[in-house]
Structure 1
């Protein structure tokens, strides 16, 4: 069912309020905040590839506080075990029964810090919960609740002692982006806030608000010509000469969900080609495997997607070709 303009206006107002609230903790990074928030509403997950100390933990905590949810942080290390992530069943001698002790993954916003430092077995412990929203231990399946967002980080500079994320796990992330360093104006505000003893971010919406926003985003109207435009972009990632493996069906579905959410966050009840183009690089680039020759020549996946956006003609805004 297509959403009404009144519902779209409410969505846009709530989206802006949450983003502005999170921005109190992550100054000067409104674009990144909006992308992460749109991903959370689209029931996706985020991979942040960034150097240490750019505010990744603060972003996860501020988002959880803004929606009055719970947050947790998992520091991935080579000796981390799957049970340290999902939880374990232990025997209670007093009661004479086995009890499940939930792991840090049972939270609304989970920060998986330096995920590529853990072993592949531990990394895979996140696969089921990221895809299904459930954790299965000893044959019992337990939901982690909604909303549920994993923000995983990896350091692009230091690769010693790391395990490269496999393509199947990269495909579980709806977007890949980075926070980056703040500009001079934002840095001045950050340092001034520290000197003034800045207070913590306050909760402004309930968890149910995010669930409602998720339902509304599914009601955004998508003209068949715009969907065809999106599909042609995805197809070109598979046909480009620099690419060995293009975007999967899962990737195309995630791309569509994110574009719909982005459209309603701009106050519209319908999808535009501009919405598709706006989220294409963060939604698609990390899903592309480049040909070794192209990598050797310095070609990046972001450049490939950018070229595809230039080459693929977009339909007009009114839906005509």
Structure 2
């Protein structure tokens, strides 16, 4: 945790303005009314209004997506499960383009609200489809794949038929993930939802441990398997929807980080969940910084950088697991 706090402070100093880590803590302390600061008004504005909310949003998003990945991989007993498996990301994309391109609810519905509504609709549809198919882990995964394809097709159709070049570029940047528009209210909402989601998952850590031995074993231990599955699927979907609605679709964090955390602390969820949250936050804080500085004036969408970093990292993790096994 100390490493995460220090990383946030260091990342906030990176940029054209001349700032130091003590300056960052001074500005935070001054804003909270604890100390006075000699940092200029421009410097205070850069720290408090621009860089700090973006960096904290990166930390919250990374932590939330990583925790959702752990829970889904354990719950579905699938090492390739990740937060966007339930169609949430594609549904959010559809909701976003309905507002951005077709102007549905324009003036009354923001891009964030439209994306969140789309994510929730997609999740409800996927869960209804899974239930109609008879429930079960495999049916949830298949329903998620079908829902993802459906909403991705709708999004593509809207962009192709109704968007001009500028709108298409804006949609593409959003779909690939961007933290450039992060505001304090986004950080507050996403932070509260992620903390509540993490607390719920930690409170069910023993039950998640039991799922490693299969649903029958978990049921024999007195766990209400069906209720727990729906509760945690809903919680992970809401956390993912909140993050995606503010930051776009940031891939690979929820897939790669849980495997790295298991190599560090093992499979017991009481330790695994908080460690995964910290690692996810660290990863996305630094990856977002890399996305800003790697191409100079042209900012690279953070989802592109997570994929470029995540694919080789995942390959190394797979190779290490093979050598260990």
The TM-score with structure 1 as length reference comes to 0.25
Higher RCO (CA-CA < 8 Å; seq separation 6+): 2
User: Which protein is richer in helix relative to its size?
Assistant: 2
User: Which protein is richer in strand relative to its size?
Assistant: 1
